[in-house]
Amino acid sequence: MSDTRSLSFLSRCRRSRSFMVGGIMTAFLLVCAAISLFWTPGSAYDITIANRFLPPSADHWLGTDRFGRDIASMLMTGTQNSIVVAVVAVSIGLSMGVSLGLLAAARRGWTEEIIMRLSDFSFAFPAILSAIMLTAIFGPGGVNSILAIGLYNIPVFARLTRGSANAIWAREFVMAARASGKGRLRITFEHILPNILSIIIVQATILFAIAILAEAALSYLGLGTQPPEPSWGRMLNEAQTLMFLDPMQAVYPGLAIATAVFGLNLLGDGLRDILDPRLSRKR
Amino acid sequence: MSVFIAKRVLTLIATLIGASMVIFLVMEILPGDPALVILGVDASDEAVRALTKELGLDRPPVERYWSWITGLLQGELGNSYAYKVPIWELIEGAMLITLPLAVMSIALSIVLALVIGLYAAANHNKAGDVTLMGISQLGISIPNFWLAILLIILFAIELRWLPAGGFPGWDEGILVCLKALLLPSLALATVVGAILARITRSSVLEVFREDYVRTARAKGLSQRATLWRHVLRNALIPVLTVTGIQFSALLTGTVVVENVFHIPGLGSLVLKAINNRDTIVVENVILLLATMVITVNFIVDILYAVVDPRLKAHDI
């Protein structure tokens, strides 16, 4: 990559307000998760009934819950959980979905038809429905919710990849590559994938946000992450029974989820503007 | 047009059959012994054998699938294991709450989207547009079940205007029931409405740039008349598609939000069924929800062709 090109990329990043704000919010999230690996202001696990419902103080920044656990620490540790779930679920969808989409675009014909029809009806099973099915059989748990969200991501990536790959396959330079005798596999990796990578990255960012939302919803229902592992969704569930006593407990976890999702959505928007300047001019 | 519809109907039927097969495979074949799932691993062999016989699980899978589907078409689903009442009764009662809730939410979100989207497009890049789009970006990021909790805290606990949850039943009068569904549908409609408002805005702006709109303006048609006669019909096509896609999000949203408000709809039914290991109820509710999603997408496909006749020629 030449110097001028990378410079203009950086300056485009700096000019996109969504990218900067979203990037800072996402970075904040990652830093919280990283710090919580070795330090939290209090304990997210220790149950000390004597310390229950303490108001915010220097020791307990956001107070304690009904078991005397430190809320700020639970929020920080919960970040890890959300990130792990989202990373694994998006990776499942990304690896399987992109491969299937590339295959469909490269082979066309029956292969494409089968892959696309399969992904069509998997849309009838949104993440929460498939998670409900899996937990009804295998019992509630973090792994099952990750699997369900990941499965839901596969057709999303497959459709997007196939659509944008088909457009590239029709371009002259691909025709030239075919005329010069390159095989379909080689063309896919040398010409198709690099050209659709930016679209896939943007989609991955947005699905990352959706995965965090879905995980929180499942944990709220009691189907996702199980105690004692702190999770934003379950914190909301526990706080709901205390709405009359201490409504602020129901505010913090939701704020954490919304911040994460908002940051990632902004980042995705910004990335789209940067990676595909044609789209940003149209808006 | 009739060929197009016939093709779509065939796809619809194939998709429904496919979905029912997936559900059957996951719920009855994958776990090995469904009777063991219902009774738990500690169950005695006799109990498992008795239940296997009672539920007809000793028959071959193909036969079981066939009797499930034929029973479904006749409204005969057997009894719930946990409640010992016909499953159809449970589902019917829950549907009478979930369906009105979903319709209310989607109607509310479309109204929200059109008002906000059109206002923002008309005031493109002015303060009102920028503020509304900022708010809608926030609306997309807020989990609906958290919004539901916040609405309860504000309207039920602080202001005491609306009930915090529960559902009185339709016998108690329509007004009381709609009041009970107001906060849940508001929680659901905010997120979907925010997404649709953004689509409406960008789609209206795009159509405003088309040549035929400029022609209409040039021949002296007023801004308002152009909007109603030329822009809206074309701009609403993408809004329609996204509404169809969002319906599935809304349905799964009801599953969660119903549990926040303790409303005895399909979402509460399926969650209780999971806790009771009532897998047959889970199976049927999931199929029902999937059928609703598939059917709505089918209707959107057809409407799409009605609104935009160009699509029929392509027949994608």
CATH number (domain holding residue A255): 1.10.3720.10
In a domain, A227, yes or no: yes
Q: Does B149 contact A236 at a Cβ distance shorter than 8 Å?
A: yes
Calculate mean pLDDT across residues B127-156.
88
Distance to chain B for A31, nearest Cα, Å: 21
CB B254 within 8 A of CB B188: yes
Q: Which of A18, A82, A113, A123 would best serve as a mutation to test chain B binding (most B beta carbons within 10 A)?
A: A123
CB B202 within 8 A of CB B174: no
Q: Does A258 contact B157 at a Cβ distance shorter than 8 Å?
A: no
CB distance from A216 to chain B under 8 Å? yes
Distance to chain A for B226, nearest Cα, Å: 21
∠ CA(B273), CA(B277), CA(B281), 5° rounding? 45
CB A202 within 8 A of CB A157: no
DSSP A120-149: HHHTTS-HHHHHHHHHHHH-S-HHHHHHHH
Domain hosting residue A174, numbered range: 25-36+64-282
Which range has the worst mean pLDDT, A2-6, A197-201, B105-109?
A2-6
Lookup: tokens for A152: 């839901």
Q: For residue B91, what are the CA distances in angstroms to A136, B184, B273?
A: 17, 20, 12
In a domain, A144, yes or no: yes
In a domain, A16, yes or no: no
Q: Which of B11, B145, B301 would best serve as a mutation to test chain A binding (most A beta carbons within 10 A)?
A: B145
Q: Check pLDDT > 80 for residue A48.
A: no
Q: Does B18 contact A220 at a Cβ distance shorter than 8 Å?
A: no
In a domain, A54, yes or no: no
Distance to chain B for A181, nearest Cα, Å: 31
CB B32 within 8 A of CB B303: no
**In chain A, what is the straight-line distance between the N-terminal and C-terminal CA atoms, in Å?**
29
Lookup: tokens for A83: 């990130």
Average pLDDT, chain B: 84
Give A 45-104 residues with CB within 8 A of chain B: none
Task: Kindly list the residues from chain A whose CB atom is less than 8 angstroms away from the CB atom of residue B291.
Answer: 124
Taking alpha carbons only, the member of B58, B270, B21 closest to residue A136 is B270
Distance to chain B for A99, nearest Cα, Å: 22
In a domain, A118, yes or no: yes
Taking alpha carbons only, the member of B269, B291, B276, B281 closest to residue B68 is B281
In a domain, A98, yes or no: yes
Higher pLDDT, B150 or A13: B150
Higher pLDDT, B128 or B54: B128
Q: Check pLDDT > 70 for residue A277.
A: no
DSSP B258-273: HHHHT--SHHHHHHHH
Taking one residue from A and the other from B, the number of pairs with CB-CB distance under 8 angstroms is 125
Q: Which of B141, B277, B294 would best serve as a mutation to test chain A binding (most A beta carbons within 10 A)?
A: B141
Task: Kindly list the residues from chain B whose CB atom is less than 8 angstroms away from the CB atom of residue A138.
Answer: 31
In this predicted model, what pLDDT tens digit does every residue of B244-287 receive, in sequence order? 778 878 888 888 999 999 999 998 998 888 888 788 888 899 88
Type of residue at B57? L
Kind and range of the H or E element at A7?
A: helix A3-15
Which residues, 6 or more positions from B303, have their beta carbon under 8 angstroms from its beta carbon?
B240
Domain with CATH 1.10.3720.10 in chain B: 88-314
- Closest Cβ–Cβ partner in B31, B150, B256 for A221: B256
In a domain, A52, yes or no: no
Q: Does B290 contact A261 at a Cβ distance shorter than 8 Å?
A: no
∠ CA(A96), CA(A190), CA(A23), 5° rounding? 60
Q: Check pLDDT > 60 for residue A280.
A: no
Distance to chain B for A163, nearest Cα, Å: 13
∠ CA(B212), CA(B214), CA(B219), 5° rounding? 95
* CATH architecture observed for domain B88-314: Orthogonal Bundle (1.10)
CB B127 within 8 A of CB B210: no
Task: Kindly list the residues from chain B whose CB atom is less than 8 angstroms away from the CB atom of residue A216.
Answer: 143, 145
In this predicted model, what pLDDT tens digit does every residue of A88-143 receive, in sequence order? 999 999 999 999 999 998 888 888 888 887 777 677 777 788 888 888 777 788 88
Which chain B residue shows the shortest CA-CA distance from A246? B153
Interface confidence, given as ipTM, is 0.81
Calculate mean pLDDT across residues B284-309.
82
CB A266 within 8 A of CB B137: yes
Q: Which of A121, A122, A231, A283 would best serve as a mutation to test chain B binding (most B beta carbons within 10 A)?
A: A121
Lookup: tokens for A161: 């990849």
- Helix intervals (H) in chain B: 2-24, 34-39, 45-54, 61-73, 87-122, 127-141, 144-151, 174-208, 211-218, 223-226, 232-261, 266-275, 279-307, 310-314
Q: What is the pTM (predicted TM-score) of this model?
A: 0.84
Calculate mean pLDDT across residues A64-81.
82
In a domain, A49, yes or no: no
Judge residue A52's burial from the number of C-beta atoms within 10 Å of its C-beta, 0-12 exposed, 13-18 middle, 19 or more buried.
middle
The number of distinct structural domains making up chain A is: 1
Which chain B residue shows the shortest CA-CA distance from A261? B141
